[in-house]
């Protein structure tokens, strides 16, 4: 059987490592083309020695010698920096995992699509910042966009064999994150350490903090709108503390399809890895008799205002998602470096949207890559300035 050629952008991250875990259990089915990492050079070397990709790419120059030395006895090519990352994305593969965190993941995904690879999309920021562009590339190249985010994988799976025009609504579930039950005055004092623990999922630090602020759900609302061409009115959010139901699709005849599974990303990753087939993954199964009951509640939009911002961004349309995401990434950096408090993130993101979209109308620019990267930069600068003003 022909091996499936896989590239993984963000191989040293949480999604990347889970993907390699699944590939490692079924080595004969896959061949690795690219493994890219950021600064975690030890993990990148370990993965490169184990999987012997065609090329391995790290982020910064000071890693070059270490990487070259470690791989000197192998056939693995070594690349460093952004240009090498983008070049590696053009290498022929069947399926590229977009698992870099942040808007930095957009371009490798677009290039992979342009070069004929199906895209396993964990990087939700791509759809938020540039949904129409990503979809356009996929259509032009006749490639599949396969969601990896658990909620979107759930919707994608529930829609197999269905007519998307029959969708009435889509419900994204949310665990509620680390501060689900915290009062506002306590959330205001939250530290990065407290925000970096998730009750159910084991993920990278940035998405974990975004889960605590519900910015993650806000991004996912926009991601769902873009991926499945929904209207904002069709998308709802329900807090479901157990994280067993990942999403529910309601159809026009009143029938609803829910997708369930343990909170383990390897289910969604395995589905994308083997799409359109399914393979035995040998992961934990849910025991409903033990679980007993599932609970759901409406999200508290006062304590978690990021959800409201997602609807604001969807009504603005255009490339406002790029502003939203870039401002969100910048305020997260501000919170991580303790320049601003947890509850100061949302107002700064909102002010950035007001300035660039409501006042300057930049979101109405054509949704091409140059404009998206430009507006991303502008939003980062404005949000960074607002953070500075907040401190002074």
Which residues contact ligand NDP by CB under 6 A? 10-16, 37-40, 59, 99-101, 104, 122-125, 149, 201, 203-204, 206-207, 265
Report the residue number, 125 or 151, with the smaller CB distance to Mg ion.
151
In the complex, least distance from residue 120 CB atom to ligand NDP, rounded to whole angstroms: 10
In the complex, least distance from residue 284 CB atom to Mg ion, rounded to whole angstroms: 18
Residue 266 interacting partner from Mg ion, ligand NDP, none (CB closer than 5 to 8 Å by kind): none
3-class SS string, the chain: CCCEEEEEECCCCHHHHHHHHHHHCCHHHEEEEEEECCCCHHHHHHHHHHHCCCEEEECCHHHHHHHHHHCCCCCCEEEEHHHHHHHHHCCCCCEEEECCCCHHHHHHHHHHHHCCCEEEECCHHHHHHHHHHHHHHHHHHCCCEEECCHHHHHHHHHCCCCCHHHEEEEEEEECCCCCCCCCHHHHHCCCHHHHCCCCCCCCCHHHHHHHHHCHHHHHHHHHHHHHCCCCHHHEEEEECCCCCEEEEEEECCCCEEEEECCCCCHHHHHHHHHCCCCCCCCCCCCCHHHHCCCCCECCCCCCCCHHHHHHHHHHHCCCHHHHHHHHHHHHHHHHHCCCCCHHHHHHHHHHHHHHHHHHCCHHHCCCCHHHHHHHHHHHHHHHHHHHHHHHC
**Of the listed pieces 22-30, 144-152, 347-355, 369-377, which binds Mg ion according to CB under 5 A?**
144-152
For Mg ion (CB under 5 A), the number of binding residues is: 3
In the complex, least distance from residue 56 CB atom to ligand NDP, rounded to whole angstroms: 11
Q: Which residues contact residue 344 at a Cβ distance below 8 angstroms, ignoring those fewer than 6 apart?
A: 331, 334, 335, 390
In the complex, least distance from residue 253 CB atom to ligand NDP, rounded to whole angstroms: 31
**Of the listed pieces 36-44, 146-154, 178-186, 301-309, which binds Mg ion according to CB under 5 A?**
146-154
Report the residue number, 12 or 320, with the smaller CB distance to ligand NDP.
12
Report the residue number, 266 or 355, with the smaller CB distance to ligand NDP.
266
In the complex, least distance from residue 364 CB atom to ligand NDP, rounded to whole angstroms: 26
CB 259 within 8 A of CB 246: yes
Token pair for residue 368?
């091409």
In the complex, least distance from residue 198 CB atom to ligand NDP, rounded to whole angstroms: 9
Report the residue number, 325 or 371, with the smaller CB distance to Mg ion.
325
When asked if residue 125 is in the footprint of Mg ion (CB under 5 A), the reply is no
The separation between CA 151 and the C-alpha centre of its own chain, rounded to angstroms, equals: 11
Residue 38 interacting partner from Mg ion, ligand NDP, none (CB closer than 5 to 8 Å by kind): ligand NDP
CB 21 within 8 A of CB 266: yes
Token pair for residue 46?
């370990």
Residue 322 interacting partner from Mg ion, ligand NDP, none (CB closer than 5 to 8 Å by kind): none
In the complex, least distance from residue 275 CB atom to Mg ion, rounded to whole angstroms: 18
Interface positions, 149-168, toward Mg ion (CB under 5 A): 149-151
Report the residue number, 119 or 348, with the smaller CB distance to Mg ion.
119
Report the residue number, 81 or 241, with the smaller CB distance to Mg ion.
241
Report the residue number, 11 or 111, with the smaller CB distance to ligand NDP.
11
* Residue closest to ligand NDP when measured from CB atoms: 13
Report the residue number, 49 or 238, with the smaller CB distance to Mg ion.
238
Residue 372 interacting partner from Mg ion, ligand NDP, none (CB closer than 5 to 8 Å by kind): none
Residue 88 interacting partner from ligand NDP, Mg ion, none (CB closer than 5 to 8 Å by kind): none
In the complex, least distance from residue 6 CB atom to ligand NDP, rounded to whole angstroms: 15
Report the residue number, 213 or 371, with the smaller CB distance to Mg ion.
213
Comparing CA positions, the residue from 352, 168, 344 lying closest to residue 255 is 168
In the complex, least distance from residue 210 CB atom to ligand NDP, rounded to whole angstroms: 7
Interface ranges with Mg ion (CB under 5 A)? 149-151
């Amino acid at each position: 059987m022909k091996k499936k050629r896989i590239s993984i952008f963000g191989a040293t991250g949480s999604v990347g490592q889970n993907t390699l875990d699944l590939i490692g259990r079924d080595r004969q089915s896959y061949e690795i083309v690219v493994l890219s990492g950021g600064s975690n050079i030890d993990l990148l070397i370990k993965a490169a020695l184990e999987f012997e990709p065609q090329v391995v790419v790290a982020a910064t120059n000071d890693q070059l010698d270490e990487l070259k030395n470690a791989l000197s006895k192998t056939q693995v090519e070594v690349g460093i920096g952004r240009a090498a990352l983008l070049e590696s994305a053009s290498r022929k593969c069947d399926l590229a995992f977009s698992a870099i965190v942040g808007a930095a993941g957009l371009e490798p995904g677009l290039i992979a699509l342009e070069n004929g690879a199906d895209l396993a999309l964990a990087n939700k920021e791509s759809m938020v910042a540039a949904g129409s562009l990503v979809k356009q590339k996929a259509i032009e190249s006749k490639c599949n966009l396969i969601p990896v985010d658990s909620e979107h994988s759930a919707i994608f799976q529930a829609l197999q064999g269905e007519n998307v025009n029959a969708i009435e609504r889509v419900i994204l579930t949310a665990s509620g994150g680390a501060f689900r039950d915290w009062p506002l005055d306590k959330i205001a004092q939250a530290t990065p350490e407290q925000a970096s623990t998730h009750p159910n999922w084991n993920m990278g630090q940035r998405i974990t903090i975004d889960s605590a602020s519900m910015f993650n759900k806000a991004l996912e609302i926009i991601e769902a709108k873009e991926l499945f061409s929904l209207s904002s009115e069709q998308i709802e959010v329900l807090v479901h503390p157990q994280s067993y139901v990942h999403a529910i699709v309601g159809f026009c005849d009143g029938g609803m399809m829910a997708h369930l599974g343990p909170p383990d990303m390897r289910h969604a990753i395995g589905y994308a890895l083997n799409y359109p087939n399914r393979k035995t993954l040998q992961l934990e199964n849910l025991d409903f008799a033990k679980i007993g009951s599932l609970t759901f509640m409406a999200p508290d939009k006062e304590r978690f205002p990021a959800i409201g911002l997602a609807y604001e961004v969807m009504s603005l349309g255009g490339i406002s998602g790029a502003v939203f995401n870039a401002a969100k990434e910048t305020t997260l950096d501000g919170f991580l470096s303790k320049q601003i408090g947890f509850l100061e993130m949302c107002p700064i993101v909102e002010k950035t949207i007001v300035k660039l979209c409501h006042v300057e109308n930049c979101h109405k620019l054509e949704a091409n890559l140059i404009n998206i990267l430009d507006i991303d930069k502008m939003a980062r600068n404005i949000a960074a300035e607002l953070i500075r003003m907040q401190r002074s």
